Amino acid sequence: MPEKTYKRKDMTKYIKRKKIKKIISSIAIIFLCLYIPIIIILATSSRADLAMIHNGLLKDSFKADGIIFKEEQLYYAQFDGLFAKGANEGERVPAGYPIASIVQKDYIDLFTQLENLQEEIYLRKQNGDINSGIFTRDLKDIEEQIKVNIISITKNVNNLQLENINGYLEQIARYHELRNEIVSGLSSHDIYVEDLEKQAKLLEDSFASQISTIETISPGIVTYMIDGLEELYRIDRISDSSIDSFTQLLSNDYKLTPQQNNIVGGEPFVKMVYGNSFYIGFIVDVAQVAKLIQKDQVEITINYPYMTITAKNMIIKEQNDKEALVFFEIDRGLNELVSTRKVNCEIIYSEYYGLKVPLNSLLNLQAYPYQPITLGLVKENWVSFIEVDIIVSDQTYAIIESKDKKISLYDFYVQKPKRVEEGQIVR
């Protein structure tokens, strides 16, 4: 009996060990099935520079320097002297508006005195307005305190409490003195300003005949920047323009300096720019001209002063096998460009938003259309080259679209596709 019991215990242990071995073996097989393929992939795959596809914006555009043509009229000084501006640079003014005043050279000292007097009058009036407001509030407070003291005296008399009346009367007397001082100060200030105004009027009348006021003939935009090129850049000179002459204009160095206050008789010192529209001319490649003709309007971004404007009408003045001279009519932004001659611009046909990738991640760019353009798409570590269409591109990026919609946002792609092959495993 003891021997049978011993054998039964051994058999139980043996069965348990066998079950444990089976469990361990099963776990090992599962582990190998799961991880050996990964190990093989890691061992046999090559490293590749991967990136994620994102949405982005690209412009179909080109850059060029342009020349502005506009309608300008110069105003000349009648004599040597000093002039004062009557408007701000780039301000649009009506007809008959005084844009400048000129005083003869012999009367410059008197004119300077008049300007100083006028400035003092202005400052004193401004200061007087401020003080007047302060003093008015003080006077109201004083009147209120006088009323309070009078009411207190009335109450004390009614209650036969006469011992405090003298104190109230003294306070009322002090408030009356303070009120009289304030009123006297205000009136003396007004009188002084009136005297200054009389002096200024007498001084102005003494040499009024020696001051010439320049008024506008027609409504327009004022500029005090004179460069002597006004006749060269009139709108009617566009008809005489050629590619050669325009190339020469582009090579000129345009520097504007503000008009000095001292002017010489017979010389221009202010000018008006008329109309609501102007023209910008460019020399462009013939390939760009073909695209421009297809557009009803284009956007033009000027780098300085920075603005984006719409050009609706295009004139092709001259064209050869390589380039063309074109002009765009613009009806906005003349105030900002009133004294500008040359501008650096970006002419934008259209803007596109979509899947954006670098151009160097695309294959067969040079061989297109003889070979399709492809992108190395990576899914589950496998490379597959997908045919794509380029919607628009610049020198660095492209907006793409796959014909069969196999490419989506946030997919991974190979940045250097020449280093991998179709079906290759990468990590």
Contact between residue 271 and residue 72 where contact means Cβ atoms under 8 Å apart? yes
423: left (phi over 0), alpha (psi -120 to 50) or beta: left
pLDDT value at position 135? 46
Which CATH architecture does the domain made up of 45-73+231-249+275-427 adopt? Beta Barrel (2.40)
- Higher pLDDT: 35 or 390? It is 390
Which letter does DSSP use for residue 264 in this model?
-
Cβ–Cβ contacts within 10 Å for residue 115, how many?
14
Residue 406 reports pLDDT greater than 70: yes
Residue 424 reports pLDDT greater than 50: yes
pLDDT above 90 as % of the chain: 32
CA distances from 73 to 28, 70, 278 (A): 95, 10, 14
pLDDT value at position 42? 46
User: Rounded to whole angstroms, how far apart are CA atoms 238 and 328?
Assistant: 11
Q: Which of 77-86, 212-221, 306-315, 342-351 has the lowest mean pLDDT?
A: 77-86
pLDDT value at position 164? 66
> Is the model's pTM score more than 0.85?
no
Q: Which of 205-219, 340-354, 376-390 has the lowest mean pLDDT?
A: 205-219
- pLDDT tier for residue 138 given thresholds of 50, 70 and 90: low
pLDDT value at position 137? 54
Residue 80 reports pLDDT greater than 90: no
pLDDT above 70 as % of the chain: 73
pLDDT value at position 209? 72
pLDDT value at position 198? 79
Q: If residue 104 lies in a helix (H) or strand (E), which one and from where to where?
A: strand 98-104
Q: Which of 18-22, 178-182, 272-276 has the lowest mean pLDDT?
A: 178-182
* Mean pLDDT value across the chain: 80
By three-state DSSP, how is residue 392 classified? strand
Residue 285 reports pLDDT greater than 70: yes
**Tens of pLDDT along 103-132?**
877 777 777 777 777 777 767 666 654 444
Classify residue 221 by burial, with Cβ atoms within 10 Å: 0-12, 13-18, 19+. buried
**Tens of pLDDT along 40-51?**
444 444 566 889
Cβ–Cβ contacts within 10 Å for residue 293, how many?
10
**Tens of pLDDT along 330-366?**
999 999 999 899 999 999 988 889 999 999 999 888 8
User: Rounded to whole angstroms, how far apart are CA atoms 363 and 417?
Assistant: 7
Token duo for residue 226:
């004179």
What mean pLDDT comes out for the span 252-259? Answer: 71
- Higher pLDDT: 260 or 158? It is 260
**Tens of pLDDT along 296-333?**
889 999 998 899 999 988 999 999 999 999 999 999 99
CA distances from 31 to 22, 104, 273 (A): 14, 104, 85
pLDDT value at position 150? 64
pLDDT value at position 33? 63
